[in-house]
Structure 1
Amino acid sequence: MPPVPVPSSQHADPLVRLHGVRFAYGEREVLRGIDLAVGKGQVVAIMGGSGCGKTTLLRLIGGQLKASSGVVEVGGENVAGLSAARLYELRRRMGMLFQFGALFTDMTVFDNVAFPLREHTDLDADLIRDLVLMKLNAVGLRGAHALKPAELSGGMARRVALARAVALDPMLILYDEPFAGLDPISLGVIGQLIRKLNDALGASSVMVTHDIHESLEIVDYVYFVSEGRIVAQGTPDEIRASRDPFVHQFVHAEADGPVPFHYPAPPVASLIEETPR
């Protein structure tokens, strides 16, 4: 297998590498040759419009999907080539924060965070208790351990989901829209926790997000995806200074630009003439 190239501005020893990755749902091609890398210890954001393939990239990294062509590597292993047993072993070294948290509604906060420890380890109950309380303390919710998800605010629920995602001290943490639906205070808290927990664990993080301003405060590198391709990439400072039309439109939330406001249509005059009275 040929070596996978890494962007020069990225880490020299990446934990995650994608090269020439293509993927289609049936006949609809979603990804059309993706190259990206996530360095060890980095927090990397993947941004782009809705439906551009961002979450599909997370599923490819996690092995839920297999690329139509190209290579997806995690920790130096070709994810698509792993046996089921080896894939599950690799997944135990990954954490996942799902969009809106996806907590188990009939479990307490404590049991939600304890779930991966009980499923994937043989630790005794006392050690699991200590580890769960440590993780909850790290996100400021040790005192909420007996509550049910229905008793939590949106921001608290997201913090519990984050504690669960890092329960096994993963080497890689995947985030699917971690800021969706949060108020400004909760959004800032989650952003800082993502950065602090990543650094404390010595992990790498891949974050799919639409939130430009919070993300640029905490990430090391950004990839922009449009129409199934990486159309721009860079550090936060490079993204802020970019004159690329797509990046500028996205960062400044402009209504019209490379992503047009109008759906393709003939001139208004011709539509008026053709429209039945």
Structure 2
Amino acid sequence: MAQSADKVLVELRDVRFAYGEREVLRGIDLRIHRGQLVAIMGGSGCGKTTLLRLIGGQLKASAGTVQVAGKSLGELDTAGLYALRRRMGMLFQFGALFTDMSVFDNVAFPMREHTDLPESMIRDLVLMKLQAVGLRGASSLMPAELSGGMSRRVALARAIALDPMLIMYDEPFAGLDPISLGVIGQLIRRLNDALGAASIMVTHDVSESLEIVDYVYFVSEGRVVAQGTPDQIRASSDAFVHQFIHAEADGPVPFHVPAEPMSEALMGRSDS
């Protein structure tokens, strides 16, 4: 379905980024609209998490433009950047809960940190967020008492604590059993729709992601090599996308690391 330009929430234009001499992103273009759940896929080390950090303002692009809600992150001062971040939610890989805080206090933390709401209202809001992820009955537990799936759901409740306009997920399915994975996937979809937000999900999980997202960007060697709806991605003729989607051992990403011919290795040939 076509999206109107006035609903664009995140836009990257010709974005480049390098860690020292190592260029990670080599001209990324992408657009994310309000209401969309978008997946960013690609092999390890291709720059997916770096993209989240650029959109969140933790990193600054070496070149190009990163815009969120019509504001160019590279032009914002510290106060402006922090104000924009308060409208974003983040679910870190493996949840990253505060281990010395209860479930309740983990979810309450952003409210206490960024608002002047009275504790009575914070209590009600926290219980509502926990109810949304099915864990109101676990509010007094400590993170060490939670399963992996429960921890991820608490982290999700914390990520939506301030009703963000943009939610970012860094490998939300990593390490989860099939039941927990399905629960988290459906929660991500439902919460995005309920909030009217936009969500960006960095993930390696092909089957679950293609069932819930609206659009996919495939990144390889610092560039977007394919993009489209889940159906378009499944039907893609791009060799890299086909290998990734079907988990093939050999293809553009080779099984063998380049080496001398096996016959020469077995013969013990030496150049010295």
Q: TM-score normalised by the shorter chain: which range applies?
A: over 0.9
Q: Distance in 1 between matches of 2:187 and 2:111?
A: 21
Equivalent of residue 43 in structure 1, options 30, 37, 45: 37
Partner in structure 2 of residue 271 of structure 1? 265
List aligned pairs for 1:173-192, cutoff 5 A.
Answer: 173-192=167-186
Matched, 1:72 2:96: no
Partner in structure 2 of residue 260 of structure 1? 254
Matched, 1:113 2:107: yes
Q: Distance in 2 between matches of 1:65 and 1:11?
A: 28
Partner in structure 2 of residue 234 of structure 1? 228
Post-superposition offset of 1:195: 0.4
Equivalent of residue 194 in structure 1, options 188, 193, 197: 188
List aligned pairs for 1:1-277, cutoff 5 A.
Answer: 12=5, 13-274=7-268
Change in Cα spacing, 1:261 to 1:273, as seen in structure 2 (3 Å) is same
CA deviation map 1:27-81 (0-9, x unaligned): 0000000001111110000000000000000000000000100000000100111
Post-superposition offset of 1:11: 5.3
Change in Cα spacing, 1:123 to 1:258, as seen in structure 2 (3 Å) is same
Paired residues of 1:155 and 1:186 also in contact (CA < 8 A): yes
Q: Distance in 1 between matches of 2:111 and 2:31?
A: 29
Post-superposition offset of 1:264: 1.5
Post-superposition offset of 1:266: 2.4
Post-superposition offset of 1:243: 1.7
TM (norm. structure 2) is: 0.97
Post-superposition offset of 1:272: 2.8
**1:107 partner amino acid:** M
Q: RMSD of aligned C-alpha atoms?
A: 1.2
Q: Distance in 2 between matches of 1:29 and 1:187?
A: 33
For structure 1, the residue ranges without an aligned partner over 5 or more in a row are 1-7
For structure 2, the residue ranges without an aligned partner over 5 or more in a row are none
Change in Cα spacing, 1:275 to 1:122, as seen in structure 2 (3 Å) is farther
Q: Distance in 2 between matches of 1:11 and 1:97?
A: 28
Percent identity, please: 78
